[in-house]
Structure 1
Amino acid sequence: MDSLNLFLLIGTGLMFTGLLLGSLSARFGVPSLLIFLVVGMLAGEDGIGGIDFDDFSTAYVIGNIALAVILLDGGLRTRLSTFKLGLRPALSLATLGVAISAGLVGAFATWLMGVDWRVGLLLGGIVGSTDAAAVFSVIKGAGVKLNERVASTLEIESGLNDPMAIFITLMLVGMLVDPDASWGASMLLTLVKQFGLGAVMGLLLGIVISELLLRVRSNEGLHALLLCSGGAMVFALTNLAGGSGFLAIYLTGLVAGNRRGGTGDNVLKSMDSMAWLAQSGMFLILGLLVTPSRLTENLPWALAVAAFLMLFARPVAVWISLLPFRFKAREEIFIAWTGLRGAVPIVLAVFPLLAGVEQTYLLFDITLVVVLISLIGQGTSLRFMARRMKVSIPPSTEPRQTVALATPRDRYLLQFEVEAGAKAVGKPLTELSEQDRTPLMLYRQHQVLSPTENPVIEAGDLISWLAPLAHKPALSDLCHYMSQDEKRYYGDFVVLGKTPVAQLVAVYGVDAPPPLWQGLTVAELFTKHVGKQAVVGDTVRVSGLRLRARSVEDGLVVMAGLKLPG
């Protein structure tokens, strides 16, 4: 009994310490995942805790389960419109990008360390993919809001790139274990099977699970537990069938989060707690595996590989992968810099250890240093780089509450608080009603006022709306007062997307617009300039005027900020 209590005390004490320090680290721009990893290292055999832990099999199991929960949570929070926006570039990065990164790092490691080319390429495959836990956590904790095109590409890439990294790792482990085996069409079939089965089973089983949960209609805590257990079943079934469980569980979360009303705020809050538990436990265990005294033996090589990956291999892979898409150079630089490595490379580094491949401790130690450098260098500088590369946008006011309705499935109950100076102040409630969005009630000083009373809106009022999620930015704009930072970013004036460009130029412009832009509206101008999927923050200049997208629905600019010449 005493040993059980001691084990419980040590485990919960480490978890509590990591969570406490992780919650404080956001104030200093330090990724919480790095804190958990360091706490685990300090508790390990070379640290003050002196815990001798080298059970790689247990760490592998815990890492897989935790990654599955984190990917499920990431899929639940990805809106279908966002997925459509970032899918093609993310898929290119997740396949071609990972292959290019792995090849470049493999060639560099083979030349630098003089190892067998298969060992070098194995290292490239292990560190070739970005990590969902790191990307989701660091972006969320950085305190900046990225433009949707960049954010969706990064998040979806981290959810899709595991099959390629696993394929490369398993192929090279197989080559090292059995050099005489043939690896032609069978390995290509394995890659197709990983992606194909992962996608099909994730989508189909995601539909089944979401339908079951919609019919059960359990309380929020139980709903989240059912989602986690159902997602874990999808993960295990897909792996048993030979597909990518990581891809399947991410798509299961995507389906469950968007199908027929999706999930409400309370379910997402419960899932957030589970994702925190998963990522903190995983990084603590991985930290316990680290032996810092052994890392110093290969530190120069590890630092060189990390620098090559961050400063050359990843940027080249991003540039080539995104050539067919409309990304600005500064967006590509930021995407390249935010190729965060985390738990996935460490878990992949366990594969050769379990298979008994020679020089695997060398690969494991280098992988750990690459992850640490990535979290320290890239993770802590994400906020600075986002502003430097101008991919961050001022955060919009989020609803006080978002509730998915049983019917109609595409409508949500959204509650906003009206700020002093907002556009809605002084207007009758019924004046704010438009197609597809309806104000249901207004709450003021412990009184509920209905639309039939048509109250005039005041600062501090809570307004509940029935609307699709796509209307959230427009409702936020109505109820939110623009700060000075927002005015500097968007401009002092706001124009509607349906405004003719010629009309703006006639009033404010300094010269005539190009002939090709004659007769276009502001929304059409953005479509012509940036493509069919504009996002908030996209910028167009015409006749000395700067137009910046402020509200976007279905890829079309609804409102734009206007900055005058000079």
Structure 2
Amino acid sequence: MELLNNLLLIAALLLFGSIVVSSISARVGAPLLLIFLIVGMLAGEEGPGNLVFDDVGTAYLIGSVALGIILLNGGLHTKVESFRVGLRPALTLATVGVLITSALVGLLAAWVFDLHWLQGLLLGAIIGSTDAAAVFSLLHARGMNIERRVGATLEIESGSNDPMAVFLTIMLIEILLTQGSLFAWNTLLLFAIQMGIGAVAGILGARLLVYMVNHLSLANGLYPLLVTSGGLLIFALANSLGGSGFLAIYLLGVGLGNRKLHAGQNILRVHDGLAWLSQIGMFLILGLLVTPSELLPLAGDALLIALALIFVARPLAVLVCLAPYRFVWREQLYIAWVGLRGAVPIILALFPLLAGLEQAELYFNVAFFVVLVSLLMQGWTVAPVARLLRLEIPPGPEPVMQIDTLIPGHPECEILVYKLGSTSPLRNRSPDYFVLPGTARLTSVIRHGISYDANDIERFEPGDYLHILAASNEVEQINRLFTTLEYAADHQFFGDFILEPSARLCDLSTAYGVPVPHACDTLSVGEYLTQQFHNKPVVGDRVKLDKIELVVLEMEAGQIVKIGLKITG
């Protein structure tokens, strides 16, 4: 009993301490995952905590389950609209990109550490994939709003490249153990089967869970647990059938996140918390597992590998993989820079330890060192580099709170709460100016902690909280309404005027005296922008025409519906 109490005390203390210490991250800009990893190292056998933990099997089990929950939550927040602009480039990066990165890093590692070239390729495969936990965490940190084409590509890549990295790692371990042939013709077939089983399991599992969530009568607190347990069940089932459990649980999350679910907001809030808990637990365990003194002798060589990965291998892979998709150089540079390494390489580095492979300790220590360098260099600069490359879009307003009313017989009703900022176009406006779509109604306004009936408010003021009752199918329209209002007020980014996409390009040329390509003078402004971005424009895309700039301001169902005009000369 005393042992159990001590274990509980230690676990609770580590979790509590990690959360408290993470407040430092907001002040100094440090990646939260780095904080958790360092806390684990400090609690380990060579730190003040002096905890000895060397159970590789337990670490692998905890890491795999935690990563599954993180991928599930990432899928829940990935909208199908993101697949329109990011799916093909992301899948190319998740397959060909991982191969290129692994090969380049692996050959260098073989030379640096004097390994057999197969051993070098194994190390390359271990650190060849980006990490979902790191990418999801840092891209959404501090309210960042990255251009959708770039953000979607990074998120989908990080959520789908684990199967390739796992496959390469296991294949190379088996070759090294059996001294077998490097390539068998059934290798590609085996990979296709793994991906296929994972995809089918995820898609079918999502349909089953959607039906169960919407038709089972449960206590409200049980719906998130139903999704979590169902996701882990599909994860384990896909693995048991020889498929990719990581791909299955990510696609399951995507399938759930893009359907209307009973208690949907409650499910999202609980899984946000579970994802944070998983990240903290996973990085604490991995931090405990490492022996810092073993990193020092190989620090120089491992740093060379990390720098080659960040500045050579990843950029080359991005350049090759994105060439067919015509990303502009700023987007390619940012995607190359945010090739974050996190828990996945460390978990993959446990595979050689579990298999009893020669040089297994070296793989683990190098992978851990590379992760530290990646989080320090790339993780610390995700936001500044986005601003430097002009890829951060002013965040569109979202409800500060969104609550399912869960009224029996009317599950589609929701309460939305928006806060008016100091620059909101609604400030000093009458509520009559604010026209909501459909059956949506402004029910009350909270001002200085006091609730007022909407009819008793003469003018909106900055800091007001607007409570809106709406049907679920009206929520996106209301979000777009607030987005249009706020974007229209952001003249610095979107320009001074708003154009309809039907405006003629030739009329714009005449009005502002700017030249346009002769082949385009019969097009509308919307058609011209759509053509310029190969039928996949996103909010924030811009085209310069002499002394004016056209900026995509609002999209709906893949179509441009509002365009900003910015005078630059």
C-alpha distance 431-306 of structure 1, shift in aligned 2 (>3 A): closer
Is contact 1:423-1:478 (8 Å) kept? Answer: no
Is contact 2:220-2:263 (8 Å) kept? Answer: no
Gaps of 5+ in 1: none
C-alpha distance 417-297 of structure 1, shift in aligned 2 (>3 A): closer
C-alpha distance 487-217 of structure 1, shift in aligned 2 (>3 A): farther
C-alpha distance 429-503 of structure 1, shift in aligned 2 (>3 A): farther
Tell me the distance in 1 between the aligned counterparts of 2:43 and 2:436: 58
C-alpha deviation, 1:41, in angstroms: 0.6
Which segment is superposed worse, 468-477 or 526-535? 468-477
Tell me the distance in 2 between the aligned counterparts of 1:163 and 1:268: 25
Is contact 1:54-1:289 (8 Å) kept? Answer: yes
Tell me the distance in 2 between the aligned counterparts of 1:478 and 1:265: 24
Which segment is superposed worse, 498-507 or 282-291? 498-507
Does structure 1 residue 553 correspond to structure 2 residue 559?
Answer: no
What residue in structure 1 maps to residue 481 of structure 2? 475
What residue in structure 1 maps to residue 132 of structure 2? 132
Tell me the distance in 2 between the aligned counterparts of 1:292 and 1:163: 29
What residue in structure 2 maps to residue 199 of structure 1? 199
Does structure 1 residue 287 correspond to structure 2 residue 287?
Answer: yes
What residue in structure 1 maps to residue 524 of structure 2? 521
TM-score, normalised by the number of residues in structure 1: 0.92
C-alpha deviation, 1:444, in angstroms: 3.4
What residue in structure 2 maps to residue 80 of structure 1? 80
C-alpha distance 463-492 of structure 1, shift in aligned 2 (>3 A): farther
Tell me the distance in 2 between the aligned counterparts of 1:139 and 1:130: 13
C-alpha deviation, 1:182, in angstroms: 7.1
Letter in 2 for 1:393: I
C-alpha deviation, 1:561, in angstroms: 2.0
Does structure 1 residue 221 correspond to structure 2 residue 224?
Answer: no
2:396 aligned counterpart, secondary structure: coil
What residue in structure 2 maps to residue 54 of structure 1? 54
Tell me the distance in 2 between the aligned counterparts of 1:404 and 1:556: 29
Tell me the distance in 2 between the aligned counterparts of 1:321 and 1:202: 26
Tell me the distance in 1 between the aligned counterparts of 2:68 and 2:50: 30
C-alpha deviation, 1:17, in angstroms: 0.9
C-alpha deviation, 1:536, in angstroms: 1.2
Q: Within 5 Å, which residues of 2 pair with 1:486-497?
A: 486-497=490-501
C-alpha deviation, 1:265, in angstroms: 2.7
What residue in structure 2 maps to residue 389 of structure 1? 389
Is contact 1:393-1:537 (8 Å) kept? Answer: yes
Letter in 2 for 1:440: R
Letter in 2 for 1:528: Q
What residue in structure 2 maps to residue 32 of structure 1? 32
Is contact 1:51-1:288 (8 Å) kept? Answer: yes
C-alpha deviation, 1:479, in angstroms: 5.1
What residue in structure 2 maps to residue 539 of structure 1? 542
Is contact 2:224-2:266 (8 Å) kept? Answer: no
What residue in structure 2 maps to residue 439 of structure 1? 440
Tell me the distance in 2 between the aligned counterparts of 1:422 and 1:22: 32
1:54 aligned counterpart, secondary structure: coil
Tell me the distance in 1 between the aligned counterparts of 2:359 and 2:245: 28
Letter in 1 for 2:523: L
C-alpha deviation, 1:524, in angstroms: 1.3
1:259 aligned counterpart, secondary structure: coil
Which segment is superposed worse, 295-304 or 244-253? 295-304
1:520 aligned counterpart, secondary structure: coil
Is contact 2:76-2:258 (8 Å) kept? Answer: yes
How many aligned positions are there? 558
Which segment is superposed worse, 238-247 or 187-196? 187-196
Q: Within 5 Å, which residues of 2 pair with 1:352-431?
A: 352-403=352-403, 414-419=416-421, 422-423=424-425, 426=429, 429=432
Q: Within 5 Å, which residues of 2 pair with 1:120-159?
A: 120-159=120-159
C-alpha distance 366-488 of structure 1, shift in aligned 2 (>3 A): same
Tell me the distance in 2 between the aligned counterparts of 1:102 and 1:362: 17
C-alpha deviation, 1:428, in angstroms: 6.3
C-alpha deviation, 1:442, in angstroms: 3.7
C-alpha distance 503-370 of structure 1, shift in aligned 2 (>3 A): same
* Cα shift readout 1:507-551 (whole Å, capped 9, x = no counterpart): 3x1334222222322221210111222111100122521111121
What residue in structure 1 maps to residue 509 of structure 2? 505
C-alpha deviation, 1:362, in angstroms: 0.7
* Cα shift readout 1:339-393 (whole Å, capped 9, x = no counterpart): 0111111110011111111011011110000000001110001111111111111
What residue in structure 1 maps to residue 64 of structure 2? 64
Letter in 2 for 1:314: R
1:560 aligned counterpart, secondary structure: strand
Is contact 1:502-1:519 (8 Å) kept? Answer: yes
2:22 aligned counterpart, secondary structure: helix
User: Percent sequence identity over matched residues?
Assistant: 42
* Cα shift readout 1:133-189 (whole Å, capped 9, x = no counterpart): 111111122542101111111011011001110111011100111003674023222
TM-score, normalised by the number of residues in structure 2: 0.92
1:10 aligned counterpart, secondary structure: helix
1:432 aligned counterpart, secondary structure: coil
Letter in 1 for 2:300: P
